[in-house]
Structures are given as structure tokens and as C-alpha cells.
Structure 1
Amino acid sequence: MNGQNRKDVTPGLLVDIVLKADQKTGKLTHGTVKDILTKSSTHPHGIKVRLTDGQVGRVQKIHND
């Protein structure tokens, strides 16, 4: 899953996000979703989330482990 649909993203999921500072390079950060920050049901660049460690970014990949 690519993280563009809010219904696919729930707290506790393992995801890869791209931080605002890493958008140009595309570097991904791995973590667990704490909060969902995007209010709309979809977003073309990924749903914005806060990880349990406090980092904020847009979901690029959802891990189904």
C-alpha cells in the first residue's frame, strides 16, 4: 500500500515516511504511527502522520508485517 488513503493508515502501523527536509532526496524514515494529521480521505503525496518518536512526514509505504 502506498499511504495515499486515510482509511489504510491507523495508529500502531509500521510505515515508511518522507520528512519535509528529505522530500528532495526521497530519503525514507521507518517508524510506528502515533497520530494521523491529514483530515482529508486521500492525499496525492501521502497521508501526513506523526510517528511515536515525534517525527512528522507523509506516508510512502505501509508495512504489512
Structure 2
Amino acid sequence: YEQMPEPRFVIVVGACASSKGPFPESYSLVRVKDYMKVDMYIAGCPPKPEAQAYGILKLREKILQGEYHESK
């Protein structure tokens, strides 16, 4: 992530990446949002291709409208 040029965008894909899926109390899993700002969540286990395309297009809309966060 740090080596990516700015602006940087983070898309969290799937239930496990966003909420630890079926293992919410596991000590060995972490949520991405606990470590960096997330721009888009794509739900599902696994997420459908349509959901992935929709999420990417919605993030694109946010970027074009200037509704994205500044990198830390």
C-alpha cells in the first residue's frame, strides 16, 4: 500500500475481509478497516461478479465527483 502512488483507494472484497466472516472472535484475523481507510466494501461470500463490478463503478463515481478521502 505504501508503495502505491497517490491517490490510493482501498476496496474490501468479501465477508471475511470486512467482518472476519464466520470467525469474528478469532485472534488471528483482523479487519482491514482497523489498519487503513476503506473506500468501498463489496459484500458476499464469495461476492458475485456483479457485486464486484457494481462496487468498482460506485467507487469510480465517488472519485469522479471528488468524494474520496485524502491519504494519510
Q: Which of the two has greater strand per residue?
A: 1
Answer with 1 or 2: which has the greater Rg: 2
* Larger RCO, structure (CA 8 Å, separation 6 or more): 1
Q: Please, what TM-score do these two structures have when normalized by structure 1?
A: 0.25
Q: Which of the two has greater helix per residue?
A: 2
Q: Please, what TM-score do these two structures have when normalized by structure 2?
A: 0.24
